[in-house]
Structure 1
Amino acid sequence: MALRDNDPREIGGYELLDRLGSGGMGTVFLARAESGRPVALKIIHEQFAADAEFRTRFRQEVRAARRVSGAFTAPVVDADPDAARPWMATAYVPGRTLRDRVESEGPLSGAELRALAVGLVEALRELHQVRVVHRDLKPDNVLLTEDGPRVIDFGISRAPDHQTMTVTGRILGTPPYMSPEQLEAPHRVTPASDVFSLGAVLVYATTGRGPFDAGSPYMTAYNVVHEPPEVAELSGTVREIVQWCLAKEPGERPGPGDLLAAFRGAPEADWGPRPGIPTTPGSTSPVPATPRRRRRPLLVALATAVALVAGTGAYVAWRDEGSPQGKTGGPSAPVTPSSQAPRTKLPDATALAAVTPYSPVSGGDSGNTDAYADSPARRPEGWRRWTSGSTRGPCVFVDASLVCTAPASGGTGTDVVRIDAATGRTIWSVRADVETDGAPAVAGTTVAVSTTGGFRALSLSDGRVLWNLRDEDAVLALTSDGRAFYGTAQDGTVLAVDTTDGTVRWRRPGLAQGLAYPRVRVTGKLVHVLAGGGDSNDGSRVISLRASDGADVKQTKLGRSCAPWSLALAPPYSADGSGLIVCRASPGAGYVMQWVGDPSAYLDLPERTIAALTANERNAYGVLATPAGANAFGEFDVQGQGTVLWRVDLEFGCDNLAPAPVVTGQRAYVVCGDSGAVVDLTQHAVVSRFLLPAPISQSGGTEAPVIVAGGVVYARTMTGWSSVDPYAAPA
């Protein structure tokens, strides 16, 4: 892929020549050293450069990769994990991933499959000899080259004697290829975990499917821990060796030396699917798969859910007899025991209703909202607790439904999904080639999603494509004021597009120069965007444009720089659309609050103890760390010096990745991990506590994972979106 206009041309003395691909943490370029030697140079994404946890992961990747420079990996040539944009250069090895090969040409067999198996064992032996456990061996991380397979991407590798880096709400690994112990207790991971992953990769290479694949990541992880692998399509000796690798107990699996000897003795005819099994991509096997054991319908020992999030506790799965799936016997949404408590009377609507119905609070615009009027009268009719395990992307709430992005059911690409907010039932699902982990934007009955090279509009009613906007780059950070969609490109361009036909109303190239895809906010007649200054990767000013034509209206120089993804505008808005700027300070700790157009009205909340912050039309509210390790919820005086006016203990812990509290009406909803609390803002007391089926998922994204509507909490967890009644178990 050719370089884009806003791509750098040189990094660390290496000339960038071409794009090789882009992943969750960074973009990989083909580059050339001064000697003329080609290298693959990985640059971490700009929005993660200021994230301490991502920098830690990148340093870890560099250290691990340096230790395993051998014939079956890509050796590190150079790196600078402390640069403004951290980067790492490895030897350039031409090839394609195992997944690309299988998807385009079908499964492997014969000598090609044997060479893959032996090469991967050699790679694991090399890793384990220098005391590195890869922990994410999967088809995407296996590169097929002319001289054999190479194992790449050491982003979550570690030495066995080092402490596992775990972050609440972030999964370290890929469920279809993770070992049971990696899911249940990451601190128990040993080199045997890589052997389990090797077995799963070889099943995929032979059949085009993983041995534990299911309809959702949740059920896939369940199968990994509890069910036997589906390996009936493999032949003879190779099938037995792979089953040996996939033993549930780490101590029962072979080591690399055992595997090499076993693979060398496997007959040539056994390398491939069993005779009579079709090998074309997407084909189905006439041979019955290994039967699954009957799942326990009520009490499921969901170490799986614990594993996905490094959390604790036991979970219960139940069947909704009123749903079509309820008669099948399979587990539905996992729920906590407390959710089975008798439902108490909901708070009176007058005590919960916001000033205006469905008034957004944290986001400050109608396109990317986190909170809606908290009146139980607006609870969707027929609501019940549910979890949608197949929906993992960000969502917005509209017309008694959630519109979300989600991994495609076929395993590749991305879908846009509309979910019934009352039942979790999928109303429609369409493929949309979504570019990134950004929430959809909604204007009336039109849904917009970012796609590769522009964005696309869909009908809210049935998901059909209304129009496509083709652009040189993806248009991200979408939002809307009902008349137009607004978004930004990687080079800082801001544009407005008519919601009816996709006509570009106006475009401001390079406006937010220095910041890739900064957050856009809309208030009244103004469109606000962060812009950088000098060599900073952070926002030093907010540019406010006229929504009708994109003309400059005012600029606000910020007292401290802000993280590009964190811009929010809080009411009240003046007639022209001005409001209170709220953003996370960067570099450094704390938050910045400042009135649009007034550089002197600046409040710095520099406390490192603020885990999360939001604001409404009255004041600011945040989660505060306490010396005991638990946390408190408090209100800040934004008219004065930012002092804490009052606080109440939450009795659970939060980290700096916690979502902003959702403040609406006279209630605040606070979620950290899988624990939640409802705080009465007039009584200054916790009035109810609740648990989610699994901890909140951040996934490195910037979209808020909690939505409140009609007294119901909708949360993006590690097992999918869940809908819970926060008042089912009062405090």
Structure 2
Amino acid sequence: MALRDNDPREIGGYVLLDRLGSGGMGTVFLARAESGRPVALKIVHEQFAADAEFRTRFRQEVRAARRVSGAFTAPVVDADPDAARPWMATAYVPGRTLRDRVESEGPLSGTELRVLAVGLVEALRELHQVRVIHRDLKPDNVLLTEDGPRVIDFGISRAPDHQTLTVTGRILGTPPYMSPEQLSTPHRVTPASDVFSLGAVLVYATTGRGPFDAGSPYMTAYNVVHEPPEIAELSGTVREIVQWCLTKEPGERPGPEDLLGAFRAAPEAEWGARPGAPTVPGSASPVPAARRRPRRPLLVALATAVALVAGTGAYVVWRDDAAPRGPKASVTPSSQTPRTKVPDAATLAAATPYSPVSGGDPGNDAAYADSPARRPKGWKPWSTGSSRGACVFVDASLVCTSPNVAGHSRDVTRIDAATGRLLWSVRAGVETGAAPAVAGKAVAVSTTGGMRAFSVSDGHLLWDLPDEDTILNLTADRRDFYGTAGDGSVLAVDGVSGKVRWRRVGVAGNVPSPRVRVTGKLVHVMAGDGLSPDSRRVLSLRATDGKDAKTTTLPRSCGPWTLAVALPQADGSGLVVCRASPGDGYLMQWVGASPTFLDLPNAHIAALTVSERGFYGLLATPAGGHQFVELDVPGNGGTLWKAPLEFTCDTVAPAPIVTGQRAYVICGDRGAVIDLTRHKVVSRFQLPSPMSQWGELNTTAIVAGGIVFAPTMTGWASLDPYATPV
């Protein structure tokens, strides 16, 4: 793939030549060293560079990759985890992934399959000898080369002496190839987890399907933990060895030496699918009746089965394979539907129907002020049971982008907020998993080389705006859309015609695609200083023509992707809120004002929300948990009162949703409702699986009429947070 206009041309002395692919954490380029040697150079995505946890994970990946010799991996030749955008260069090994091979030519058999199996066991043996657990062995991370398979991507690997990053219920891995213990006790995985993944990969290589595949990640995870693998298509001895690998109990699985002996002794004729078994990728395989038609008690039991699918209340779960364009909801029996205990209108109502919290734009992805009228009529708890990207709440529905999936066209979908029923789905070529923006009755998304707008009512294409760069970080006011391009341009697009009203080139300096915020008459963006992607300068442009209106200078640098403008004033100004980068804590300053309003250099603040009611945050405690606090602003930023959450959040957590007399906090798969008048937790709830950030730093939940809508590892879920009062 050719380089894009906003791609760097040189990193760390390496000249970038081509794109090789993009994953959840970064983009991989083909590059040339000064000596002329080709390398594969991985650069962390811009939105993760300011995230301390992702930097730690990247350092961990570099350390893990350097532990192994390179005989069965791509050896590291250079790296800079502390760069503005961390990067790592490995030897360039020509080849294609196992998934590419199977999808293009069908399953493997004979010598090719045996070489794959033995090569992967040898790779795992070397990894485990140097005390590295891969934890994400899957077809996409197996590279087929002329001299055998190579295992790549150590992004979530861990050595026992390295920090464990699976905190607050966040599950790392790919469900069809994860071991049962990764789903239930992710902190306690051993090398045997990789052996389980190896068995699942070999089933895929032989049949074109995983041994636990189901209609949704939700059901797939359940199958991994509770159901026997579907391996009837494998032949004889190889089937028995693979079944040994897929044993649920880690201590009963074979080690690498056991596997090497067993695979070498397996007859050549038994490498491949047994005669008569379907082997075409995507073809239907025999599925036990219990998997085809799961009984409703089983679905309810899923709520407490494993950590990935833990929750309270009853959720509607469906299979996606019956509807190629999207899920069809089934109805939860009334006997299983929890009674709704949503507070009255006076408790829920904010001063305005949409009041920005933690910055944001009314009606768009970061504005969640509640209103009783926003509660969908006829609402019942539901879960999509299939992956969705970030969503925006509009007209009693969620409009969502599909998550980033390499090599697949991405969709825009609209879901009924009352039932979870799919209303429409269109192919859109979406570039990122960021939430759409809404202006009037148009919903816009970033596409490869521009942006597109669709009708909210039925999804038909309204207009298509091509551009040299993808137009990112979209937001809107009631009439127009605003976004940024890779060259640092800021532009305004007419929401009706799709024509560019104005464009300011290079406003953001060297900050590629910074976040744009709109408050009334002003458009705010973090402007680069020419030396660093972090900035101390916020430029406010006139929404009418893009000309300079105000400049706000901060005492410390801020991450441009954390910019928020809260408490908007009549002239479009407001309070700038951003997370310090580098450094800890948050900065606040009124637009165009000087000196700084408030600097909160507190490393223990995991999230901050500024609302019309007050200033609230999540604060780490010495014991390791987190508490919800109200901060003394405009005082010195101290704590006015605290409410212990009784669960732990990440170092950087989703911002609390503050509306009316209530605040809603979600960390991992656990949540709490805090009464802001009584200063206490009044209700607790659980999601059906841990909350997902979809690769975006600020994707968070939505509250509408006291109902919580949240993105999870298995799709979006809708629940009554008051069903389990404290």
- Normalising to structure 2: TM-score of the pair? 0.91
Q: 2:411 aligns with which of 409, 415, 420?
A: 415
Task: Give me the whole-angstrom Cα distance separating, in 2, the residues matched to 1:211 and 1:283.
Answer: 14
Give, in angstroms, the shift of residue 84 of structure 1. Answer: 2.6
Task: Give me the whole-angstrom Cα distance separating, in 1, the residues matched to 2:652 and 2:332.
Answer: 24
Q: Which residue number in structure 2 is paired with residue 634 of structure 1?
A: 629
Give the alignment of 1:509-548 within 5 angstroms: 509-548=505-544
Sort the Cα spacing of 1:548 and 1:649 in 2 relative to 1 into closer, same or farther, 3 A: same
CA contact (8 A) 2:365 2:436 kept: no
CA contact (8 A) 2:5 2:469 kept: no
CA contact (8 A) 1:513 1:531 kept: yes
CA contact (8 A) 2:611 2:658 kept: yes
CA contact (8 A) 1:207 1:273 kept: yes
Q: Which residue number in structure 2 is paired with residue 706 of structure 1?
A: 701
CA contact (8 A) 2:455 2:461 kept: yes
Task: Give me the whole-angstrom Cα distance separating, in 1, the residues matched to 2:491 and 2:542.
Answer: 12
Give the alignment of 1:474-623 within 5 angstroms: 474-575=470-571, 577-623=572-618
Deviates further, 450-459 or 136-145: 450-459
Task: Give me the whole-angstrom Cα distance separating, in 2, the residues matched to 1:626 and 1:29.
Answer: 42
CA contact (8 A) 2:358 2:608 kept: no
Q: Which residue number in structure 2 is paired with residue 39 of structure 1?
A: 39
Q: Which residue number in structure 1 is paired with residue 325 of structure 2?
A: none
Q: Which residue number in structure 2 is paired with residue 125 of structure 1?
A: 125
Q: Which residue number in structure 1 is paired with residue 74 of structure 2?
A: 74
CA contact (8 A) 2:414 2:424 kept: yes
**CA offsets 1:60-113 (integer angstroms, 9 cap, x no match):** 111111111232211111222222322211111111111122222322233322
Task: Give me the whole-angstrom Cα distance separating, in 1, the residues matched to 2:280 and 2:683.
Answer: 55
**CA offsets 1:504-532 (integer angstroms, 9 cap, x no match):** 22222222122222111111121111122
Task: Give me the whole-angstrom Cα distance separating, in 2, the residues matched to 1:91 and 1:704.
Answer: 35
Sort the Cα spacing of 1:331 and 1:629 in 2 relative to 1 into closer, same or farther, 3 A: farther
Matched letter for residue 297 of structure 1: L
Q: Which residue number in structure 2 is paired with residue 183 of structure 1?
A: 183
Give, in angstroms, the shift of residue 415 of structure 1. Answer: 2.7
**CA offsets 1:616-652 (integer angstroms, 9 cap, x no match):** 2353222233334443333334333334334444444
Matched letter for residue 55 of structure 1: R
Matched letter for residue 607 of structure 1: N
Task: Give me the whole-angstrom Cα distance separating, in 1, the residues matched to 2:670 and 2:481.
Answer: 35
Task: Confirm whether residue 723 of structure 1 aligns to residue 718 of structure 2.
Answer: yes
CA contact (8 A) 1:218 1:305 kept: no
Give, in angstroms, the shift of residue 342 of structure 1. Answer: 5.0
Matched letter for residue 9 of structure 1: R
Task: Give me the whole-angstrom Cα distance separating, in 2, the residues matched to 1:708 and 1:231.
Answer: 44
Matched letter for residue 498 of structure 1: D
Give, in angstroms, the shift of residue 42 of structure 1. Answer: 1.3
CA contact (8 A) 1:451 1:475 kept: yes
Matched letter for residue 500 of structure 1: V
Task: Confirm whether residue 297 of structure 1 aligns to residue 293 of structure 2.
Answer: no
Matched letter for residue 485 of structure 1: F
Task: Give me the whole-angstrom Cα distance separating, in 2, the residues matched to 1:331 and 1:380.
Answer: 16
Task: Give me the whole-angstrom Cα distance separating, in 2, the residues matched to 1:701 and 1:604.
Answer: 26
| Unpaired stretches in structure 2, ≥5 consecutive residues | 323-327
Task: Give me the whole-angstrom Cα distance separating, in 2, the residues matched to 1:709 and 1:634.
Answer: 23
CA contact (8 A) 1:360 1:366 kept: yes
CA contact (8 A) 1:179 1:224 kept: yes
Sort the Cα spacing of 1:636 and 1:534 in 2 relative to 1 into closer, same or farther, 3 A: same
Task: Confirm whether residue 624 of structure 1 aligns to residue 625 of structure 2.
Answer: no
Sort the Cα spacing of 1:628 and 1:70 in 2 relative to 1 into closer, same or farther, 3 A: closer
Q: Which residue number in structure 2 is paired with residue 665 of structure 1?
A: 660
Matched letter for residue 419 of structure 1: I
Give, in angstroms, the shift of residue 6 of structure 1. Answer: 3.6
Matched letter for residue 349 of structure 2: A
Matched letter for residue 173 of structure 1: G
Give, in angstroms, the shift of residue 316 of structure 1. Answer: 6.7
Task: Give me the whole-angstrom Cα distance separating, in 2, the residues matched to 1:487 and 1:319.
Answer: 36
Matched letter for residue 210 of structure 1: G
Give, in angstroms, the shift of residue 413 of structure 1. Answer: 4.3
SS at the partner of 1:167?
coil
Deviates further, 630-639 or 433-442: 630-639
Give, in angstroms, the shift of residue 318 of structure 1. Answer: 5.9
Task: Give me the whole-angstrom Cα distance separating, in 2, the residues matched to 1:419 and 1:331.
Answer: 10
Task: Give me the whole-angstrom Cα distance separating, in 1, the residues matched to 2:193 and 2:560.
Answer: 38
Give, in angstroms, the shift of residue 161 of structure 1. Answer: 5.5
Sort the Cα spacing of 1:454 and 1:109 in 2 relative to 1 into closer, same or farther, 3 A: farther
Give, in angstroms, the shift of residue 351 of structure 1. Answer: 3.6
Deviates further, 454-463 or 404-413: 404-413
Task: Confirm whether residue 402 of structure 1 aligns to residue 389 of structure 2.
Answer: no
Q: Which residue number in structure 1 is paired with residue 198 of structure 2?
A: 198
SS at the partner of 1:565?
helix
**CA offsets 1:118-170 (integer angstroms, 9 cap, x no match):** 22122122222222211111111111112221110111112245553322253
Q: Which residue number in structure 2 is paired with residue 468 of structure 1?
A: 464
CA contact (8 A) 2:48 2:54 kept: yes
Task: Give me the whole-angstrom Cα distance separating, in 2, the residues matched to 1:409 and 1:334.
Answer: 31
| Unpaired stretches in structure 1, ≥5 consecutive residues | none
Q: Which residue number in structure 2 is paired with residue 676 of structure 1?
A: 671
Q: 1:653 aligns with which of 644, 648, 670?
A: 648
Task: Give me the whole-angstrom Cα distance separating, in 1, the residues matched to 2:304 and 2:202.
Answer: 25
Matched letter for residue 184 of structure 1: S
Matched letter for residue 172 of structure 1: L
Give, in angstroms, the shift of residue 279 of structure 1. Answer: 4.2
Task: Give me the whole-angstrom Cα distance separating, in 1, the residues matched to 2:246 and 2:149.
Answer: 21
Task: Confirm whether residue 352 of structure 1 aligns to residue 352 of structure 2.
Answer: no
Deviates further, 608-617 or 160-169: 160-169
Deviates further, 219-228 or 373-382: 373-382
SS at the partner of 1:231?
coil
Q: Which residue number in structure 2 is paired with residue 17 of structure 1?
A: 17
Task: Give me the whole-angstrom Cα distance separating, in 1, the residues matched to 2:332 and 2:631.
Answer: 36
Task: Give me the whole-angstrom Cα distance separating, in 2, the residues matched to 1:301 and 1:691.
Answer: 13
Give, in angstroms, the shift of residue 435 of structure 1. Answer: 1.8
**CA offsets 1:474-497 (integer angstroms, 9 cap, x no match):** 221111113221111233222222
Task: Give me the whole-angstrom Cα distance separating, in 1, the residues matched to 2:373 and 2:545.
Answer: 39
Task: Confirm whether residue 457 of structure 1 aligns to residue 453 of structure 2.
Answer: yes
- Give RMSD over aligned pairs: 3.0
Sort the Cα spacing of 1:415 and 1:319 in 2 relative to 1 into closer, same or farther, 3 A: closer
